Every structure is written in C-alpha cells, then in structure tokens.
C-alpha cells in the first residue's frame, strides 16, 4: 500500500473516531439527563417520606401533650380546692406551691403544643410544595424518557454502524502504523496532523527542515517532535481547488 493510500485510510479512521467520540458524548448527555432527573425524584421522595414521618411524630407528641394538659388542669382544680380548704399557713403554702407548679407545667406544655403546631404546619406546607414538585418531575421524566430513549436508540445504531466501519478502516492499515496510531490516540483525541509548509497543523509548531524535506518525498510517516502526532505532507490548497478530504485542521485545537 502506497503512503498516499495509507494517508487516506488514516484520515478515514480518524474521521470515524471523531464521529464515535461525538456519539459517545451525546449518549452520555442523554443518559446523564435521565439519571439527574431520576436522582432528583428519588431524593424528593425520600424527603417527602421523612417530612411525613416527622409530621406524624409531631402530631402524636402534640396529642400526648394535650392529654397531659387536660390531666394537669384536673389536678389544678383539685389543688385549688385543696387551697380553699387549707386550715393553717403550712397547708396554704403547700397547696399554693403545688398550684403554681402545676400552672407552670401547663404553660410549658401549652407552649410546646403551640411550637409543635407551627412546625407541623410548616412541614405540611413543605409537603404540599414537594408533592407538586414531585408531580412536575414525574411528568418531565416521563416525557424526557420517551424522547431520550428514541435519541439513545438512534445514537446506539450510529455507534454500531461506526464501530463496524472502524474495524474495516483499522484492518486496512499496516499493523505497525495502526499500533502507532492507537498509542497516540490514547493520549490525544486526534492522532494525526498535516503539514503543507513545515508547520504541524495540530500544534502549530514548525518541524525541523530536514524532516519536512523527507515528508515532501512521501516515502514514510513522521511524528511531530512537539505533539507527537503522526505527521504527513499535504499540499496547500490553491484558490478554486476542491477541499482536501482530510479534516485535520478542523478543531485542531481543542485537542492539543
């Protein structure tokens, strides 16, 4: 296989790898969006369950406190009667102390009931808002899932097609050249670069003149001394000429 034919195969393989990279990115985006929505929904459901459990606990505590308040109020009435029947100062002091302590306990319980009522009401309000948000998330997830499934299925088909095409393109290359290509691609998304004038269009650094002279003879591939991409000579496009098949200059520099 001539070096010109190898260049064409390298460019085809590089184009396929770039298409595969974009497909994988899109698949990741679609799947990531679904995972984010599902995670948000799961977190919201956990919070709802926790808030509902808290409300149940607070309602139970408030109910128990209300029972205590009724019992203490009954005791206060008895203490008031005892105070009225006091026959001496000692009995009066004891009954008055009991009466005041019971009243303080009732006030404390009533304050706690009021506090629990406020917290429970806020929790119920939060639950209502969360239920609304849950419905919105479920609706969004349902709609997104259907659309995402279709997009994922399409891109999966593209990936299968591109993977098959890649196998053909890879087998068409000499094994040594393919191994070199894969070794570079492990470090850089794009493993090849062109030079029309002695400057690598991958990293935009000039190569040694002697290396460029060797590439002009199209006898073998070189590697850019700077970015280590497989480097080869392609004549500069003249005005009016068809654009070369390679897309080496495209995006050359998000991939340095």
Q: DSSP letters of 184-198?
A: HHTT-S--EEEESSS
Instruction: Output 168-176 pairs: Cβ under 8 A, ≥24 positions apart.
Output: 169/9, 169/12, 169/13, 169/16, 170/13, 172/1, 172/9, 173/6, 173/9, 173/10, 173/13, 174/1, 174/6
**In the numeric block, which tokens belong to residue 196?**
């029309």
Instruction: Kindly tell me if the per-residue pLDDT of 246 is higher than 50.
Output: no
Three-state secondary-structure class, residue 230 = strand
Three-state secondary-structure class, residue 206 = strand
Helix (H) or strand (E) holding 15: helix 3-84
- pLDDT tens, position by position, 100-135: 998 999 999 999 999 999 999 999 998 998 888 888
Packed helices 175-185 and 3-84: angle between N→C axes, nearest 10 degrees: 30
Give dist(CA 161, CA 155) in Å, integer: 10
Question: Length of the chain, please?
Answer: 256
Give dist(CA 104, CA 1) in Å, integer: 100
Three-state secondary-structure class, residue 231 = strand
pLDDT reported for residue 6? 93
Residue whose C-alpha is closest to residue 144's, from 32, 44, 42: 32
Residues facing 88 on adjacent strands = none
Instruction: Kindly tell me if the per-residue pLDDT of 226 is higher than 90.
Output: yes
- Sheet of 222-223: strands edge to edge? 192-195, 230-233, 222-223
Q: Read off the pTM.
A: 0.55
**Domains assigned to the chain:** 3-171 (1.10.287.1490), 175-233 (no CATH)
- pLDDT tens, position by position, 152-182: 888 889 999 999 999 999 999 999 999 999 9
Given the DSSP bridges, would you call strands 230-233 and 222-223 parallel, antiparallel or unpaired? antiparallel
Residue 191 CA, chain-centre distance (Å), reads 29
Give dist(CA 180, CA 223) in Å, integer: 10
For 40, 119, 121, 210, the CA distances from 125, given in Å and listed in that order, are 20, 10, 6, 78
Three-state secondary-structure class, residue 222 = strand
- pLDDT tens, position by position, 23-72: 988 887 777 777 777 788 888 888 889 989 999 999 999 999 999 999 98
């Amino acid at each position: 296989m001539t070096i010109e034919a190898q260049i064409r195969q390298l460019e085809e393989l590089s184009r396929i790898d770039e298409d595969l990279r974009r497909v994988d990115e899109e698949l990741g985006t679609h799947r990531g969006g679904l995972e984010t929505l599902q995670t948000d929904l799961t977190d919201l459901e956990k919070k709802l369950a926790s808030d509902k459990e808290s409300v149940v606990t607070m309602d139970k505590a408030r109910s128990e406190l209300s029972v205590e308040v009724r019992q203490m109020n009954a005791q206060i009435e008895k203490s008031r009667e005892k105070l009225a029947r006091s026959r001496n100062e000692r009995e009066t002091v004891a009954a008055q102390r009991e009466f005041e302590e019971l009243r303080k306990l009732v006030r404390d319980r009533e304050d706690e009931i009021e506090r629990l009522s406020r917290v429970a009401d806020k929790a119920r309000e939060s639950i209502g808002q969360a239920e609304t948000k849950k419905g919105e998330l479920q609706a969004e997830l349902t709609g997104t899932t259907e659309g995402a499934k279709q997009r994922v299925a399409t891109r999966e088909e593209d990936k299968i097609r591109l993977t098959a095409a890649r196998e053909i393109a890879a087998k068409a290359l000499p094994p040594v050249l393919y191994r070199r290509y894969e070794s570079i691609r492990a470090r850089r998304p794009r493993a090849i670069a062109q030079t029309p004038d002695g400057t690598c269009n991958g990293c935009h650094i000039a190569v040694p003149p002697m290396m460029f002279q060797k590439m002009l003879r199209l006898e073998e591939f070189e590697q850019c001394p700077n970015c280590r991409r497989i480097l080869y000579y392609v004549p500069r496009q003249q005005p009016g000429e068809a654009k070369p098949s390679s897309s080496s200059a495209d995006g050359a520099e998000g991939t340095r």
